[in-house]
Amino acid sequence: MGGIDPLYILPEEYRPKLIITDGEDIPLIDLLPITNRDSSDPKALQELADKVGDACKTWGFFTVINHGVPSGIRKKIMEVSRKFYALPLEEKLKVRRGDHNTAGYHNDEHSKDIKDWKETFDFYVNDGMLMPASHEPDDPEVVPWFTPWPHNFPEFRETCQEYGRECEKLFFNLMELVSMSLGLPPKRLQGYFENQASFARLNHYPPCPNPELVLGTGGHRDPSALTVLAQEDIEGLDVQRKSDKAWVRVKPIPDSFVINVGDILQVWSNDLYESVEHRAVVNSEKDRYSIPIFFHPSHDVVMKPVDELVNEQNPAKYPEYKAGKWLNLRMYNNYKKHGFYMKMTDFKIEA
């Protein structure tokens, strides 16, 4: 990436300093009772759901082990990600994302209106799913969205697709636990993902000569229901602690996944669980790779607080919004530099 282009340099208040390093970390949750559900009793499942609920409420983030995703496929996707990023730029640009189809390679994301120090490749978990043709609320057109896969690299495509399928099983287990934690039937939210618009992102953060002036991924909240993130042993993910807004560095635990609440779950739970601000820092020596999957409902799902969770005392805090339009709007805004950063709370109904 060469010397530092001013486009990357953050205003003072957003620079990555003031990290809490007192050993505190986000909750660690062992998913064995659900990944091994045939030999678990229902009480163990409910206890697990309660732990997930507590973590969603207090942090909006947690780490999971015994999650059921085979370590082989995870190693393999990290390997093909490295191979992809080692290709010449002109090769990567052949699968550049388009204006209306957000998958593919890009190196111009603006998380908080400032350029991120990273390059990414996005792919759809359910390739070819229907999405709104534009973010405009009155435009009814829907079109299939496809991932532009690199030619002559079948191993890349196959590995990415298999990884998506394996993580999907983990995601559905997590959604069951989340539903139970909210007092809902375990499969209450599952139908919303029938034609899911979920996408995975291979993040590559190259070393930066001035890591204190930039962010790999600027502070943001995820537009998903839940995000499932794999990182390796090079740390870099910071989460904003809800109690005092301090940044806490998430310590990598081998073979674990970091899970976080996204905007959609914030709306479904009517703010009981919140989508929390997080960011990724870079360093001056080592390349860092991470892979989040943003699990997102089908485009035509009407996002609103779940009926069973609202009543006269606790009215809906959000208006209805189509899930596909929300994603389209967020993606459209993330890649432009135009003076504001969009959050779900901007849509809140005034109390």
Ligand X SMILES: O=C(O)CCC(=O)C(=O)O
Say which residues have a Cβ less than 8 Å from residue 275's Cβ, sequence separation at least 6.
60, 221, 222, 260, 261, 262, 263, 265, 266, 344
- Using CB under 6 A, which of 103, 182, 237, 261 touches ligand X? 237
**Which residues in the 262-281 window bind ligand X by CB under 6 A?**
278, 280
Interface with ligand X, residue 231, by CB under 6 A: yes
Closest CA to 257 of 169, 199, 170, 198: 170
Kindly state the number of chain residues that form the binding site for Fe ion, as judged by CB under 5 A. Answer: 1
**CA 251 – CA 216 distance, rounded (Å):** 17
What interhelical angle do 154-181 and 42-58 show, nearest 10? 100
| Binding window for Fe ion (CB under 5 A); candidates: 50-58, 156-164, 218-226, 281-289 | 218-226
Max distance between CA atoms of the chain, in angstroms, equals: 59
Interface with ligand X, residue 81, by CB under 6 A: no
We find the least distance from the C-beta atom of residue 166 to Fe ion, in angstroms, to be 20
We find the least distance from the C-beta atom of residue 88 to ligand X, in angstroms, to be 24
- Using CB under 6 A, which of 290, 298, 328, 334 touches ligand X? 290
Q: Which helix (H) or strand (E) holds 181?
A: helix 154-181
| Binding window for Fe ion (CB under 5 A); candidates: 62-70, 137-145, 216-224, 233-241 | 216-224
| Binding window for ligand X (CB under 6 A); candidates: 128-136, 168-176, 230-238, 331-339 | 230-238
Nearer to ligand X, 229 or 259 (CB): 229
Q: Which residue's CB atom is positioned nearest to Fe ion?
A: 222
- Beta-strand ranges (E) seen in the chain are 19-20, 28-30, 61-65, 104-106, 119-124, 130-132, 142-144, 199-205, 217-220, 226-231, 237-240, 247-249, 257-261, 278-280, 288-295, 302-303, 321-322
We find the least distance from the C-beta atom of residue 284 to ligand X, in angstroms, to be 17
We find the least distance from the C-beta atom of residue 112 to ligand X, in angstroms, to be 12
Please check whether residue 239 is in contact with residue 275, taking contact to mean a CB–CB distance below 8 angstroms. no
Nearer to ligand X, 173 or 217 (CB): 217
We find the least distance from the C-beta atom of residue 152 to ligand X, in angstroms, to be 27
List alpha helices for 10-107, DSSP H.
Answer: 32-35, 42-58, 71-85, 89-93
Contact footprint for Fe ion (CB under 5 A):
222
Binding site for ligand X (CB under 6 A): 201, 203, 217, 222, 229, 231, 236-237, 278, 280, 290, 292
